[in-house]
Structure 1
Amino acid sequence: MPKPAEVLDRDAEWRMLEEIWERARPDLVFAVGRRRVGKSFILSRFARQVDGIYYQATRRTEAEQLAALSRIVGARFQDAALRRGINFPSWEELFAYVTDRAGGNPFLLVLDEFPYLAAAAPALTSIVQSAWDHDWQKTGMKLILSGSYISAMNQLEQIDQPLYGRRTAKLIVNPFGFADAALFMPQYGVRDQLVAYGLFGHLPGHLSLLDAERSLPQNAAAALLSPSGRLVDDAQHMLDAFTSDAHVHYSIIEAIAGGEQTWSGITKRVGRVGGALQRPLQWLEEMQVIARIVPITERNPRRSKRVLYRIIDPYVAFWHRTVIRLVNAGSLGLVEPERLWDEVVGPDLDDIMGPVFEEVCRDFVRRTHRLPFRPIRVGEWWDATSQNQVDVVSMASGGELLVGECKWGRVTAAHLATLRQRANMLAAELAGTTRVHLALFTGRGEADDEVRRAVAEGTVLLITAEDLRDR
């Protein structure tokens, strides 16, 4: 079935939904992804395509949720009584009604933000288990349970939970990489597209705020630096719905955004002993807010002591690095947004974009077919002293390595010399290296004569910002 034009990219996710729909069996699917990642958008559009039922739960009582879903079911099956407010007395009755009306044919029911439903109706997961085990095994029922509360969705699969071992598929809706994010801003040159990605982040719900009629500074001023801007406080409240102890988690995020990426640095900045932060750090990692990074050479990553923590979403990193200082100083609303761009954000762009550009380059290496080999692992490396690091490391099964240096500006002979030295150090730490490929990534597409000669000789690859946009 054709994917609607308003669903940008998401080809793999749409194909997976099509495959689930076409299977001659019932399915119980878990769909997981951060808020504003586009999860609800694609599920609601797919439900419309197959004439199914889509319901997004809210923080209401069980009776209110059951009443709201009863009306939606009534509208789908043109049942006048349900549409006029005669509600199902129980979830069992609702599921039985839908099953009966589907008549054994494939039928899609999407319960979005399912953790809200489960919180309001604690017995609901057991009711779904019973329906799955006894009523749906010989039907074409396709039930998708979706949620942004990733920890709660993961909990559904624990061995002590009613739905353990019953899901037939899991749809993970990931944020956009740079190449897909660029589709939201075709009016910009690649340099501005990268900066927009670094400020607005990788969530479709944020990228869709970019106004094609405005320049990048105008968009940033309106959405990020104005008191009425849509994103001026989103990062400040992104966790409020998921935990009552959010202030500790926000402090951790702010510490990381401020440059404290090690365990000791974070604990010192937050003012808590290490043990008190272990669970919040793990929770933020599970919620896909931060990433725990170790050198690619580590044999046992979970036990490694060489750990750095990074914020995954560029928007969240930018907000906690820059916008929060303007909020705390009372500058938002006092100083014109355009002036804040000119005097605060603009001069700091090179520092903001350095780590963003590095991650964009690593993502390019993961997905491109233009490099010497397809990797089995992609990451980065730093030595035990943290004095030497490599931005991009790609490993192949036969012992080949691609080692890359990322520069937001131009690349020079000095960068190439440093890369060669560090590539040798990295290869020495790895056993079985058979060949090393060197790569320089430049955000400006500029390189000096010596680098150009090395590229012409085939001893180094030069990858520009335009290359990173290839899909």
Structure 2
Amino acid sequence: MRKPEGMFDRDFEWGELVRFAENRSDRATLGVVSGRRRQGKTFLLDALTRASGGFMFTATETTEADALSQFGASLARYLGEPVPLRFTSWDEAISRLLRLPTDRPVMAVIDEFPFLAQASPSLPSVIQRALDPGSQHSNSPVRLLLCGSAVTFMGRLLSGTAPLRGRAGLELIVPTLDYRLARAFWGIEDERTAVQVNAVVGGTPAYRREFAQDDAPEGPDDFDDWVVRTVLNPARPLFREGRYLLAEEPGVRDTGPLHAVLAAIATGSTARGAIATRIGKKATDLAHPLAVLEDAGLVRHEPDAFKRNRSFYRIAEPIIAYYHAVMRPVWGELERPGRAGQVWRRMQGTFRSQVLGPHFESLAREWARLHASAEELGGLPNRVAAGIVSDPKAGTTHEIDVVVHGTAADGSDALLAIGEVKWNEEMDCGHLRRLTRLRDLLVSQGRASEGSRLICFGGAGFSDELRRIADTDPMVELVDPARLYV
């Protein structure tokens, strides 16, 4: 099956789905597809079922009886039956699904599966029984795919002692587009503009197609106007997206404490203690809300580069960080038509310091982890993080934006590089001297060597003197937005 025309990227995902669909086993097989909303999962699976002549049912949030009625009607249409099929239980429905009349592998997709399981908690066990080797339905060429956007639920579907643990032959997560693919998808030529757009909407495909209606910035001079006419426009879906993403998670009832935690992280409180102080709670009270946000894929937990029992929390979805830092504090004004331009001019400093700067740091770490070569880093990276290093003699601590640990040329573990990130100021020799002092401090502590690289990530470029040094010193690397995308 060839990937449909117009499907951007997703080569890996399409290839795995086709491989699952065309498996020649004469036994029924199970696959699970998950990922956050708006990533194109339904588009992928719809294209797959159309190409293979399979069956696809998209569930809705309803009762068990109504879901069975909808499922029976959908299956009858697929089979060409004149009247809807009537099922009194999911045992009957799944049994009939696995008896599709076919002499070849055929796809059967249940999309938004968490809605069905929420109304019928025993459904995973029903599917397990139907797929058991001793079941009368196991000798069927049906390829059953369960798909859902409830990341927490789908993640537990195959874990631990869950009924379907060990039953799936495919466990595919459809991710957001990384920053390089996102730039290509949005069709943005200027790299600085691409970073700014990515800091607002990330790599979610639907945000361009459906939510922005293919409205992308035409260049650097159009970015501010684009923000006003799309993200800050009360008539556009992006305006409320930062609020709705959390509410769409099944099982999340009280979103107030979760939004408070997100707001704290978005405005710079990234350590557990700092978050607790910001929202007026004890650090021990944050275990549940942070776990919910991590399970939902909205927050990342990143260990410190130098101290494993110290960590940082980062918001994983840029539109949520943008909403909490820029939009939430002035929400009342933004809801009034015609005020977006004025509000945006006032909030641009907040955007640069609390959203764009931290996002550029995350892109710098992603570049070091996934795109930088061994020659650029002095070895192969295996861990990239931010870190705090202490200077006991001076009684001070220093933050390092990018710390690259990895394997040196001789095969030993090593600190390959440290980096400093600045978005809106030209980097000069002062920044390089700071990195040199930090490397000297790490060398004195036995954590680095004189061969550890020094990397300056500059969103606004570099001074001529710093460029001359980098041209002659192989230990110094300069990375600007253009190099991030090469």
Which residue of 251, 254, 258 corresponds with 2:263? Answer: 254
Structure 1 residues 454 and 280, CA gap change in structure 2 (3 angstroms) = same
1:340 is matched with which residue?
A: 343
> How many residues align structurally?
461
Kept in 2, the 8 Å contact 1:200–1:315? The answer is: yes
TM-score, structure 1 normalization: 0.90
Kept in 2, the 8 Å contact 1:115–1:152? The answer is: yes
The aligned amino acid for 1:225 is: L
Question: Would you say 1:403 and 2:418 are equivalent positions?
Answer: yes
1:304-343 superposed matches below 5 A = 304=309, 306-328=310-332, 330-333=333-336, 335-343=338-346
What is the CA distance between 1:135 and its match in structure 2? 4.3
The aligned amino acid for 2:405 is: M
Listed as ranges, the gaps of 5+ residues in structure 2 are none
1:29-68 superposed matches below 5 A = 29-68=31-70
Structure 1 residues 334 and 346, CA gap change in structure 2 (3 angstroms) = farther
Mean Cα deviation higher: 110-119 or 262-271: 262-271
2:436 is matched with which residue?
A: 420
Q: What secondary structure is seen at the aligned counterpart in 1 of 2:100?
A: helix
What is the CA distance between 1:347 and its match in structure 2? 7.4
1:90-109 superposed matches below 5 A = 90-109=89-108
TM-score, structure 2 normalization: 0.87
For residues 180-233 of structure 1, the C-alpha deviation after alignment (integer angstroms, 9 at most, x for no partner) is 110232144111111111112232222432514863333311222122221222
Structure 1 residues 332 and 51, CA gap change in structure 2 (3 angstroms) = same
What is the CA distance between 1:103 and its match in structure 2? 2.8
1: distance between equivalents of 2:69 and 2:390? 60
Structure 1 residues 429 and 106, CA gap change in structure 2 (3 angstroms) = farther
Kept in 1, the 8 Å contact 2:427–2:463? The answer is: yes
Structure 1 residues 428 and 151, CA gap change in structure 2 (3 angstroms) = farther
Question: Would you say 1:111 and 2:118 are equivalent positions?
Answer: no
Listed as ranges, the gaps of 5+ residues in structure 1 are none
Q: What secondary structure is seen at the aligned counterpart in 1 of 2:452?
A: strand
Kept in 1, the 8 Å contact 2:439–2:450? The answer is: no
Higher RCO (Cα < 8 Å, 6 or more apart): 1
Question: Would you say 1:357 and 2:363 are equivalent positions?
Answer: no
What is the CA distance between 1:434 and its match in structure 2? 8.6
Which residue of 279, 284, 291 corresponds with 1:270? Answer: 279
Question: Would you say 1:390 and 2:400 are equivalent positions?
Answer: yes
Structure 1 residues 277 and 107, CA gap change in structure 2 (3 angstroms) = same
Kept in 1, the 8 Å contact 2:325–2:350? The answer is: no
Mean Cα deviation higher: 167-176 or 40-49: 40-49
Q: What secondary structure is seen at the aligned counterpart in 1 of 2:457?
A: strand
Structure 1 residues 168 and 433, CA gap change in structure 2 (3 angstroms) = farther
Q: What secondary structure is seen at the aligned counterpart in 2 of 1:168?
A: strand
1: distance between equivalents of 2:390 and 2:51? 54
2: distance between equivalents of 1:252 and 1:51? 46
Q: What secondary structure is seen at the aligned counterpart in 2 of 1:383?
A: strand
1: distance between equivalents of 2:273 and 2:448? 34
Structure 1 residues 141 and 366, CA gap change in structure 2 (3 angstroms) = farther
What is the CA distance between 1:14 and its match in structure 2? 1.6
Q: What secondary structure is seen at the aligned counterpart in 2 of 1:81?
A: coil
Kept in 2, the 8 Å contact 1:262–1:308? The answer is: yes
The aligned amino acid for 1:180 is: L
Question: Would you say 1:24 and 2:24 are equivalent positions?
Answer: yes
Structure 1 residues 24 and 325, CA gap change in structure 2 (3 angstroms) = same
2: distance between equivalents of 1:464 and 1:238? 32
What is the CA distance between 1:158 and its match in structure 2? 4.0
